[in-house]
């Protein structure tokens, strides 16, 4: 059977320089070594159909407020991948943290897909806790609520088939309703894991990234994302790993993650 997903772009738009210590929930030997995070949106291409965008990224205001280095606006990143943001019809929001749902206005003609549990949580009393609230921004959440009132929000309840070749799988723990996106490509199922795994090292070292609602649930979600990828790191695309651009064929900060890596990802770790 021909691949249903013909291309997946991981489009980098921002970066945060930081030491390794900030990326794990326990002490690590290389704690003061640089271990930056990259920020991505993803584009899933299918024959004859508009690309499906996964996450919106954030804009200049959030970059300034949070000290992240903007490499290019998300809209420019999409343009560099040959995508007109005005023609995007569907955006899957893996979760509602500022770096994944902070630029809804870049997609004025899109429907936004979100898990029931995620929007419920982001508008609940849990946001009175400043620690839980920290990775969310109020304005994008409010924008999403406004979009609900103009029929632009599509809710998903747990695991659902999004379209032929694209499946949504609920993997909570990092947030209440984080979902990963499974894509059927020529080389098998590629899992866009978003923040189920910030970095390959979070999986490899079995040390969570230190933002989660529930650690056992986070660990189970990471196990599930890896199982959905057939147990292969080469088929799991983490949310924030600069290694994605190094390991997969890439040009101009855009990695083709539908293609196999240059060598097994494990050999880079
Ligand atoms: Zn997150
Ligand atoms: Zn993130």
Q: Mind listing the pLDDT tens digit for each residue in 189-206?
A: 999 999 999 999 999 999
* Terminal C-alpha separation, the chain: 34
- Tens of pLDDT, residues 133-149: 999 999 999 999 999 99
**109 falls in which pLDDT band (50, 70, 90)?**
very high
Residue 1 lies in a domain: no
Residue 264 lies in a domain: no
By percentage, how much of the chain surpasses pLDDT 70?
Answer: 99
Instruction: Over range 218-243, report the average pLDDT.
Output: 98
Ligand 1 midpoint to CA 97 (Å)? 5
Ligand 2 midpoint to CA 104 (Å)? 15
- pLDDT score of 187 more than 70: yes
Ligand 1 midpoint to CA 135 (Å)? 7
- pLDDT score of 3 more than 90: no
Tell me whether residue 25 is exposed, middle or buried, using C-beta atoms within 10 angstroms of its C-beta: 0 to 12, 13 to 18, 19 or more: middle
State the ligand closest to the CA atom of 56. 2
Residue 37 lies in a domain: yes
Give residues whose Cβ lies within 5 Å of ion ligand 1: 97, 195
Residue 175 lies in a domain: yes
Say what the pTM is: 0.97
- Tens of pLDDT, residues 256-269: 999 999 999 999 99
DSSP class per residue in 115-156: EHHHHHHHTSGGGGSHHHHTT--HHHHHHHHHHHTTT-EEEE
Mean per-residue pLDDT over the chain, rounded: 96
- pLDDT score of 1 more than 80: no
Distance in angstroms (rounded) separating the CA atoms of residues 35 and 166: 31
Residue 178 lies in a domain: yes
Residue 2 lies in a domain: no
User: Domain count of the chain?
Assistant: 1
- Tens of pLDDT, residues 51-106: 999 999 999 999 999 999 999 999 999 999 999 999 999 999 999 999 999 999 99
Instruction: Over range 124-138, report the average pLDDT.
Output: 97
Which of helix, strand or coil describes residue 107?
A: coil
Residue 266 lies in a domain: no
- pLDDT score of 2 more than 90: no
For residue 107, give both structure tokens. 């997609």
Give pLDDT, residue 44.
98
Q: Residue 50 sits in a domain of what CATH number? A: 3.60.15.10
State the ligand closest to the CA atom of 175. 1
Ligand 1 midpoint to CA 161 (Å)? 23
Ligand 2 midpoint to CA 40 (Å)? 9
- pLDDT score of 19 more than 70: yes
Strand order in the sheet with 166-170: 160-163, 166-170, 179-185, 188-194, 236-238
Ligand 1 midpoint to CA 52 (Å)? 20
Structural domain that includes position 228: 7-258
Give residues whose Cβ lies within 5 Å of ion ligand 2: 99, 195, 239
State the ligand closest to the CA atom of 132. 1
Beta strands at 236-238 and 188-194: parallel, antiparallel or unpaired: parallel
- Residue indicated by tokens 């809710």: 155
Ligand 1 midpoint to CA 71 (Å)? 19
């Amino acid at each position: 059977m021909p691949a249903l997903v013909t291309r997946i772009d991981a489009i980098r738009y921002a970066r945060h320089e930081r030491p390794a210590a900030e990326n794990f929930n326990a002490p690590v030997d290389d704690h003061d070594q640089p271990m930056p995070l990259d920020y991505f949106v993803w584009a899933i291409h299918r024959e004859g159909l508009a690309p499906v965008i996964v996450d919106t990224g954030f804009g200049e205001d959030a970059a300034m407020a949070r000290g992240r280095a903007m490499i290019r606006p998300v809209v420019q990143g999409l343009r560099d991948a040959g995508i007109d943001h005005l023609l995007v019809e569907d955006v899957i929001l893996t979760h509602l943290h500022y770096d994944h749902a902070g630029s809804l206005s870049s997609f004025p003609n899109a429907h936004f897909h979100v898990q029931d549990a995620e929007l419920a949580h982001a508008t609940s009393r849990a946001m009175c806790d400043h620690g839980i609230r920290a990775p969310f921004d109020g304005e994008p959440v409010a924008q999403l609520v406004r979009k609900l009132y103009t029929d632009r929000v599509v809710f998903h309840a747990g695991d659902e088939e999004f379209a032929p070749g694209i499946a949504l799988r609920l993997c909570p723990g990092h947030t209440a309703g984080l979902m990963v996106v499974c894509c059927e490509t020529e080389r098998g199922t590629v899992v866009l894991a978003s923040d189920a795994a910030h970095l390959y090292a979070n999986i490899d070292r079995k040390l969570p990234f230190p933002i989660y609602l529930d650690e056992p649930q986070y660990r189970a979600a990471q196990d599930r994302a890896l199982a959905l990828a057939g147990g292969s790191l080469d088929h799991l695309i983490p949310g924030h790993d600069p290694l994605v651009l190094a390991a997969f064929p890439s040009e101009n900060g855009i990695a083709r993650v539908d293609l196999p890596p240059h060598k097994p990802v494990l050999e880079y770790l």
